[in-house]
Amino acid sequence: MTESKPHASVLVAGSANVDFVIRAPHIPAPGETVLGRDLTMVAGGKGANQAVTAARAGGADTAMLVALGNDVFAPLLETSLTGAGITLHRVRSGAPTGAALICVSDNAENAITVAPGANMSLRPGDLPDLTGIDGLLLQLETPLPTVIAYARAAHAHGVRVILNASPAQLLPAELLAAIDVLVVNEDELSAIGGAEGTIAEQLARLDVPCVVATLGARGACARSDGQFYLQPAVAVTPVDTTAAGDTFCGVLAASLCAGESLATGLSTACAAAGLAATRMGAQSSIPTRAEVEAVPDRADAETAALAGLAAYCGVADIGREAAQDRI
């Protein structure tokens, strides 16, 4: 792993939710009632999860622009974020703090319903000064016009813009034009770029300098400036995948803002996401930087998995090992 530059600075603007999590034998089908086990209440939300990851697993100086209600749940989120060393830019809202209802099955899959609440209170004028910020990390659990305004402001300021396009929705051209790195899962990729063709063909249709598709237990596939990069996942026994995608995004953002190559960023992000999937909860599952760096060398396993990953993605020319560029 290459050495990160000191004090890479990431600003996350996004959602923070209190997660109400129930473990159950399986995720209920429509109309079905499932008898679950204990209810736990933990800090979550895509924006907050990714901010904690950038700070804890990514080693970046991290700040977060967050909207919270004036209720008993806000302190839980503030404590989790500040405890991870994150500088908070708070917006107080008359709406309740965001909440998510999460069912986690015994095979580690999850189903999530979100009540955005205060998260929808973020407005374009709330964006703090971007001086000294290397990258702005965004998601889609806040109002789309606000996300567009933040992306355009950061782009004009010369700040790298990273968007995790989740939950899935069509993205306007003005937003795509302001993005440097777009991160999506397979469903989000199909929703944004159209489901026709292979993963590689769908990535190629998106007019963004760098697009990364996360592929769950398979790993990740990225396209940057016409070159494809493949990164097999770490083999783990999953316990709860709730924040694995957020962990990937936060570490990738921190890595790229630290000047690391895309290939290195993908490798580190997949290692961190794999570790997160072996633990329960959202922010509580996010590993430390030391834990990520302690993941054993997996070059032989990755080499063995590359051919299968390339076939799944429809990538003929693998550029992962030769990638030394910076994006």
Which are the contacts of 322, defined by CB distance < 8 A and separation ≥ 6?
none
CB 210 within 8 Å of CB 222: yes
Q: Give per-residue pLDDT as tens, 152-184.
A: 999 999 999 999 999 999 899 999 999 999 999
- Report how far residue 140's alpha carbon sits from residue 15's, in angstroms, rounded to the nearest whole number: 8
Q: What is the mean pLDDT of the chain?
A: 90
| Percent of the chain whose predicted confidence (pLDDT) is above 70 | 94
Whether the per-residue pLDDT at 7 is higher than 70: the answer is: no
Q: Give per-residue pLDDT as tens, 237-295.
A: 888 777 789 999 999 999 999 999 999 999 999 999 999 988 877 787 888 899 998 88
Whether the per-residue pLDDT at 327 is higher than 80: the answer is: no
Q: Alpha helix locations (H) across 157-219?
A: 173-176, 186-193, 199-204
Whether the per-residue pLDDT at 323 is higher than 60: the answer is: no
Who has greater pLDDT, 242 or 296?
A: 296
The domain made up of 9-14+46-95+121-313 has a fold known as UDP-N-acetylmuramoyl-L-alanine:D-glutamate ligase (3.40.1190)
Catalytic positions, written as ranges: 246
303: buried, middle or exposed (CB in 10 Å: 19+, 13-18, 0-12)? exposed
pLDDT at residue 317, rounded to an integer: 54
